[in-house]
């Protein structure tokens, strides 16, 4: 006795169903946005368009925006059911990356400011 | 196929296409499972890069009286290599899309574009490294330069490995045709290549733009 799913599963072995998530248009939109973000980063870094102390913040914001563009338009991380597991894994990866980078910078900056210079 | 779907819908409460890989609708297609496994590998690679980024962020000021970042970096070259890598990411995506649509000639053309752009990126980086070493600013000069060469060099090694893998995959596609197993490998390779571009966004922002002016 077959289960109903097996009886009606009539897909040919080796042929995989998949819905096309990508298209030429989505890649081209992604490329356009990424180029804009890159050019904006180089302009911000080399001109006085932004208030000088705000330049690092502006660069970080543009970098994060570009990473978001890459994730959505090139890696096709969307809100669909096929992306759920990938998004969860990415969230965990982002947490670890943040802890490693921010934690190192914070701890070493603290150590540096507490460092007493040895007498020469 | 339409009949399958309607019958499945009447038999189970959860629509099949929504529940693949999450219990109700049976296992996810192999393509999704394989890409998920490779995604885990990419995230572990990202965590390794995060350690190198952290080392650079901590050590970038310690130049031991040696050359500093603004004296060494040529932002015009960096802009050109950034554009090469970005365009190669684009041609890689289009190439894999053509492969999935069973267009071998399109795939070959875009794979060649991807390879040439990736190789141009590596060439610019190698020239930059050689110029820095010739100026006495090699990795042994200061902690800043050690962490710089480790971070940017590790990314460069990844790009070089990606180029070798691309040649291997194009050969597979020529010999075996664009069958499902080859398409899955190509999909994984494209994930790797896009991920390298994401790492490069971090590199040019943190290393070259925030340190180079």
Question: Cβ A15–B180 below 8 Å, yes or no?
Answer: yes
pTM of the predicted protein model: 0.85
Q: What is the residue-level pLDDT of chain A in tens, covering all 120 positions?
A: 444 444 444 444 444 455 555 688 889 999 999 999 999 999 999 888 888 888 999 999 999 999 999 999 999 887 777 788 899 999 999 999 999 999 999 999 999 888 877 666
Among A9, A22, A105, the residue with its CB nearest the CB of B54 is A105
| Residue B77 in this model has a pLDDT that exceeds 60 | yes
User: B102-143 pLDDT, tens per residue?
Assistant: 899 999 999 999 999 999 999 999 999 999 999 989 899 999
Of A34, A42, A86, the CB nearest to B86: A34
Residue B209 in contact with partner chain A when CB distance is under 8 A: yes
Q: What ipTM is given for this predicted complex?
A: 0.83
Q: Which of B208, B206, B209 is nearest to B54 (CA)?
A: B206
Look up residue B27 and give its two tokens. Answer: 């296992």
DSSP codes of every residue in B27-47: SPPHHHHHHHHHHHHHHHHHH
Task: Say yes or no: A84 contacts chain B, CB-CB below 8 A.
Answer: yes
Residues of B in contact with A45 (CB under 8 A): 75, 209-210, 212-213
Cβ–Cβ of A100/B54 closer than 8 Å?
yes
pLDDT tops 60 at residue B21: no
Cβ neighbours, 10 Å, residue B192? 19
Residue pair B143/B60 in contact (Cβ under 8 Å)? The answer is: no
Residue B24: which pLDDT band, with cuts at 50, 70 and 90? low
In the predicted structure, residue B71 carries a pLDDT above the cut 80 = yes
Residue B1 scores a pLDDT above 60: no
Half-sphere exposure of A96 (CA within 13 A, CB side): 14
Alpha carbon distance A104, A110 (integer Å): 10
Residue B11 pLDDT level (bands cut at 50, 70, 90)? very low
C-alpha–C-alpha distance, residues A60 and B86, integer Å: 18
């Amino acid at each position: 006795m077959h289960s109903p799913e097996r009886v009606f599963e009539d897909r040919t072995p080796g042929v995989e169903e998949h819905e096309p998530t990508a298209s030429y248009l989505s890649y081209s939109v992604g490329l356009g946005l990424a180029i804009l973000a890159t050019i904006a980063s180089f302009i911000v870094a080399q001109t006085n368009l932004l208030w000088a102390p705000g330049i690092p913040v502006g660069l970080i914001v543009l970098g994060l925006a570009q990473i978001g563009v890459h994730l959505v338009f090139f890696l096709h991380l969307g809100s669909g059911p096929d992306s759920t597991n990938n998004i969860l894994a990415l969230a965990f990866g982002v947490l670890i990356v943040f802890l490693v980078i921010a934690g190192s910078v914070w701890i070493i900056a603290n150590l540096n400011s507490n460092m007493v210079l040895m007498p020469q | 196929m339409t009949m399958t779907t309607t019958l499945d819908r009447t038999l189970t409460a959860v629509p099949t296409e929504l529940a693949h890989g999450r219990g109700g609708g049976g296992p996810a297609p192999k393509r999704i499972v394989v890409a998920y496994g490779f995604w885990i590998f990419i995230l572990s690679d990202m965590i390794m890069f995060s350690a190198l980024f952290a080392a650079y962020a901590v050590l970038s000021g310690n130049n031991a009286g040696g050359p500093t970042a603004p004296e060494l970096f040529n932002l015009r070259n960096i802009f050109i290599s950034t554009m090469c890598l970005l365009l190669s990411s684009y041609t890689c995506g289009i190439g894999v899309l053509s492969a999935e649509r069973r267009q071998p000639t399109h795939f070959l053309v875009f794979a060649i574009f991807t390879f040439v752009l990736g190789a141009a990126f590596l060439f610019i980086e190698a020239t930059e490294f050689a110029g820095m070493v010739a100026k006495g600013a090699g990795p042994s000069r200061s902690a800043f330069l050690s962490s710089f060469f480790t971070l940017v060099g590790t990314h460069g090694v990844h790009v070089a490995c990606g180029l070798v893998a691309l040649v291997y995959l194009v050969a597979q596609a020529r010999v075996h045709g664009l069958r499902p197993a080859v398409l899955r490998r190509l999909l994984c390779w494209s994930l790797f290549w896009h991920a390298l571009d994401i790492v490069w966004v971090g590199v040019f922002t943190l290393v070259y733009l925030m340190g180079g002016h």
